């Protein structure tokens, strides 16, 4: 069953000229977000631009958040990934949903108006309340980390 999430359309081309974000297949985890630019956007090598998606969402549930992730095709083939690597959408955020597009390639890339440039994935969240202690109960790993367990 799908979870209802409030959405505001901020760009009238969304839902008319360009479809609203939706799951491409029944098993999709993400729905694609579009670059609602007015004209084609040229991203020079190394350039980062904050691009509007033409919509806002209000998740309104502290047990949920959303991630904005790159699309694998764009990221792998064209080098268009996210300037913040991953976008985190807080459950109380009501502003315009923005995507930071970073051209990490060595060639200029053109982004068309309405192009699907990233994807939105809703995720469950647990908010923690820290309980301060002086010592932890021992664990098998202890303080080992950062490659402590080797590579094979």
- In the complex, the smallest distance separating the C-beta of residue 123 from ligand DUT, rounded to whole angstroms, is 13
d(C-alpha 15, C-alpha 11), whole Å: 9
The residue nearest ligand DUT at its CB is: 87
- In the complex, the smallest distance separating the C-beta of residue 56 from ligand DUT, rounded to whole angstroms, is 9
d(C-alpha 17, C-alpha 15), whole Å: 6
Determine if 48 is a binding residue for ligand DUT (CB under 6 A): no
Q: 66 is written with which tokens?
A: 């959303």
Q: Are strands 87-89 and 64-70 parallel, antiparallel or unpaired?
A: antiparallel
Piece of 7-15, 19-27, 34-42, 92-100 that binds ligand DUT (CB under 6 A)? 92-100
Residues in contact with ligand DUT, counted by CB under 6 A, come to a total of: 11
* Nearest CB to ligand DUT, comparing residues 84 and 105: 84
- Taking each continuous run of H as one helix and of E as one strand, the counts in the chain are 1, 10
Site track for ligand DUT across 72-91, x = CB under 6 A? ------------x--xxxx-
d(C-alpha 34, C-alpha 38), whole Å: 12
Do 30 and 120 form a contact (C-beta atoms < 8 A)?
yes
- In the complex, the smallest distance separating the C-beta of residue 92 from ligand DUT, rounded to whole angstroms, is 8
Determine if 98 is a binding residue for ligand DUT (CB under 6 A): yes
Determine if 6 is a binding residue for ligand DUT (CB under 6 A): no
d(C-alpha 107, C-alpha 109), whole Å: 6
Q: 106 is written with which tokens?
A: 């060595």
Q: Which residues bind ligand DUT (CB under 6 A)?
A: 68, 84, 87-90, 93, 97-100
């Amino acid at each position: 069953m799908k979870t209802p999430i409030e959405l505001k359309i901020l760009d009238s081309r969304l839902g008319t000229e360009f479809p609203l974000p939706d799951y491409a297949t029944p098993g999709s985890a993400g729905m694609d977000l579009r670059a609602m630019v007015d004209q084609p956007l040229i991203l020079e090598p190394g350039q980062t631009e904050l691009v509007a998606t033409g919509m806002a969402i209000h998740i309104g549930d502290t047990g949920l958040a959303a991630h904005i992730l790159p699309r694998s095709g764009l990221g792998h083939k064209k080098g268009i990934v996210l300037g913040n690597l991953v976008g985190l959408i807080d459950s109380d955020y009501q502003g315009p949903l923005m995507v930071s597009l970073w051209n990490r390639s060595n060639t200029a890339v053109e982004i068309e108006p309405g192009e699907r440039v990233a994807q939105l994935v809703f995720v469950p969240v647990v908010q923690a309340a820290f309980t301060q202690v002086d010592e932890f109960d021992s664990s098998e790993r202890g303080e080992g980390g950062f490659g402590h367990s080797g590579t094979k």
